[in-house]
Amino acid sequence: MPRFLLQIFLYSGILLLFVCCKSYQLTDAKPVSNTKKIVENLYFSSSQDYVYKCQIDIYKHHVSGILIIKKLDDSTHRVALTSDFGNKLIDFEISQDRFKINYILPDLKKKVILNFLKNDFQQLLKREYSISESFEQETMSIYLSKSENKKYYLFLNKENHLLSKIIYTKNNKEKIDFTFDSKKHNFADSIHLQHRDFKINIKLYQITETE
């Protein structure tokens, strides 16, 4: 599986150079008075381990394994990915300004793979968003956070006030959609990462639940 993953990620990196994402436009939403200054993603805020069944679909290929995410401190998480047979593939520590590899299979130690891991998990684990604008749809409150050339659209369900989606854009191009299915503010039962610039989808399904 490692060599198979390497070939796919290299292929994805090459295709990415030729793919142009279209600009993201928020639809069916009206601006409202900005009532929030900060919105937090608390789905990985517990000190207990988050354990998910991980399914990755890349250009018609499917791989699976077990993903474990552990909060080390207020800014840093440790992430480990194993195969279905329990063999460790990747182990790293990550924050918004730090990325440290503890272990990675030699065949996977390539720049395109490391960049992919760093970007995806920095976005997934980003906790705090400063809000500049607010919008409203029929069932969602939407908050816009800006950081240099990046924008984050955070969708909160009006009924339960849980974070249900984050759309991450860069240079106004839609990059990744994060969709959360949850019953608690600090734990998502399932997570779907859908890349918009190349065909990579990652689905995480709960194995163990935090308190």
Domain harbouring 179, CATH code: 2.50.20
The amino acid occupying position 87 is N
Do residues 153 and 25 touch, judged by C-beta distance below 8 A? Answer: no
What pLDDT digit, counting tens, does each position of 85-142 carry? Answer: 889 999 999 999 999 999 998 888 888 888 888 999 999 999 999 999 999 999 999 9
Q: Which domain holds residue 113?
A: 2-12+23-208
Number of domains observed in the structure of the chain: 1
Confirm if 41 and 163 have CB atoms less than 8 A apart.
yes
Answer yes or no: is 17 within a domain. Answer: no
Residue at 133 is within a domain = yes
In a domain, 18, yes or no: no
- Collect all residues with Cβ–Cβ distance below 8 Å to 195 and sequence separation of at least 6: 175, 176, 201
Tokens found for residue 43: 């789905």
State the pLDDT at residue 189.
Answer: 95
The DSSP code for 184 is: E
Say if 159 falls within a structural domain: yes
147 token code pair? 């950081």
pLDDT greater than 90 at residue 203: yes
Residue 172 tokens, joined: 């106004």
Q: Is residue 38 part of a domain?
A: yes
> What pLDDT is attached to residue 19?
47
Q: What is the pLDDT of residues 165-189, one digit of tens each?
A: 999 999 999 999 999 999 999 999 9
